[in-house]
Structure 1
Amino acid sequence: MTLQAASKRIGIPRLAFQRNRCLPPRRNMIPAPRINSGPLLERRADRELPAVHNERKWLRTFPIFAVAVGAAMLGIFNYQKSSSSVVSSTLYALRTSSQAREILGDEIYFAQQIPWISGEMNQLHGRIDISFWVKGTKSQGKMRFRSIRPDRMSYFRTEEWSLEKEDGTVVQLLNSDNDPFRQSD
């Protein structure tokens, strides 16, 4: 038996049946909780949604975020350079060079606690051109190392390995007698 036939049997007019059938059931909408109105103890399906505020507070903090991300990237890239084998090898070669020990003294290491390695270190494309400050027991100076690889199948060729003193004079370490980077001909 259909719903319409059942409504005829019990005496509900057809118009009233259709009117009630088309309308959704009535619910009372409960307002959304306000700020500091207490704990929300139950979740109801008939609760109003909170009002959406179209505020752009993030626009004020975005420049701070961008600066923080940029500083972190610079720090990470510099740490990667300072812990590379090229920097370790040049620092070791500087420690074992008699000419550098004569200028800087013993215990040669980075001049700052967190060293800044400036320049390019691109071993994949065959370009290394770095410089950083070093110090010893006597003085400090800026060490520069430059090496290139002419083509993909050749070895790196050192073009410059020098130490700039505090007074501005540059000492070429590449041509000294105990040069670890000297090319054998």
Structure 2
Amino acid sequence: MSGMRSTRPMLSAARAMTSTISGQTRRNMASMPRKEHRPLPTIAPRRAPMLIGAGIVGVSLWIGGLSYAMNFQRQSSSVVHGTMFTVRYHQGVRDLLGENVGYADSWAWIDGSVNHLKGQVNIKFDIKGDNGHKAKVHFASRREGANWRTIIFNVTRDDGVTLNLDQQSLTDTGAPVMALSS
């Protein structure tokens, strides 16, 4: 029992300290605002996938618009007009494709580049005539001094038959030089 007696004063001292600490804690907690029980906030939906999708659509529209504008610029150039004039009225092309030679589609796509400043033209586009065959026109030219030299000017039908038009003399607008008969 003597062992019990010696632990009692320690227990009572521990209880006194605990009650003092818990009293202080209660007073501190009383001064704190009470927490209300409310539902947790909902998590906002992620915006990253929507922003990435909008970015992809925006870049696609920008690239499409730029491609359309550049093709329109090539299609409106004097070189393409002159090349199409030559092809449309050349008797060999008429024999190859039939009458009424024109662009193969209602909206022609001109591949390549027309660069007057560098003195380089390299274009390709599709044509068709009345006989139902399609053909690809390839025209390439370089400026040497003040004159343009035709490097390639041919019409290749879809079955592989090729007509070479390199020997045509062209004016500065790309139209063929035609002698007027009187």
Q: Same fold (TM over 0.5)?
A: yes
- 1:142–1:164 contact (8 Å) kept in structure 2: yes
1:58 to 46, 51, 69: 51
Instruction: State which structure, 1 or 2, has the greater radius of gyration over its C-alpha atoms.
Output: 2
TM-score (structure 1 length as normaliser)? 0.62
Match in the other structure for 1:87: 80
* SS state at 2:107 partner: coil
User: Could you tell me how far apart the structure 1 residues matched to 2:47 and 2:94 are?
Assistant: 63
Task: Tell me the C-alpha RMSD between the 2 structures.
Answer: 2.1
> What SS class does the counterpart of residue 57 from structure 2 fall into?
helix
CA distance in 2, matches of 1:180, 1:96: 14
In structure 1, what is the equivalent of residue 116 of structure 2? 123
| CA distance in structure 2 between the partners assigned to 1:104 and 1:83 by the alignment | 24
Tell me the SS of whatever aligns to 2:99.
coil
Q: Where does the alignment leave 5 or more consecutive residues of structure 2 unmatched?
A: 1-45, 171-175, 178-182
Consecutive unaligned residues of structure 1, counting only runs of 5 or more, are 1-53
Residue in structure 2 matched with residue 155 of structure 1 by the alignment: 147
Residue aligned with 2:96, SS:
helix
* TM-score (norm. length: structure 2): 0.63
> Hey, what does 1:172 align to over in structure 2?
164
Give the Cα separation in 2 of the matches to 1:119 and 1:60: 31
Matched-pair identity in %: 26
Query: Which residue type is aligned with residue 147 of structure 1?
Result: S
Taking the aligned partners of 1:55 and 1:106, their CA distance within structure 2 comes to 58
Partner amino acid, structure 1, of 2:142 = I
Aligned residue for 1:105?
A: 98
Q: Are 1:93 and 1:180, in contact at CA under 8 Å, matched by a contact in 2? A: no
Contact 2:135 2:156 in 1 (8 A): yes
Preserved contact between residue 100 and residue 173 of structure 1 (Cα < 8 Å): no
| Greater RCO structure (CA 8 Å; 6+ sep) | 2
Alignment partner of 1:78 out of 62, 68, 71:
71
Greater helix fraction, Structure 1 or Structure 2: 2
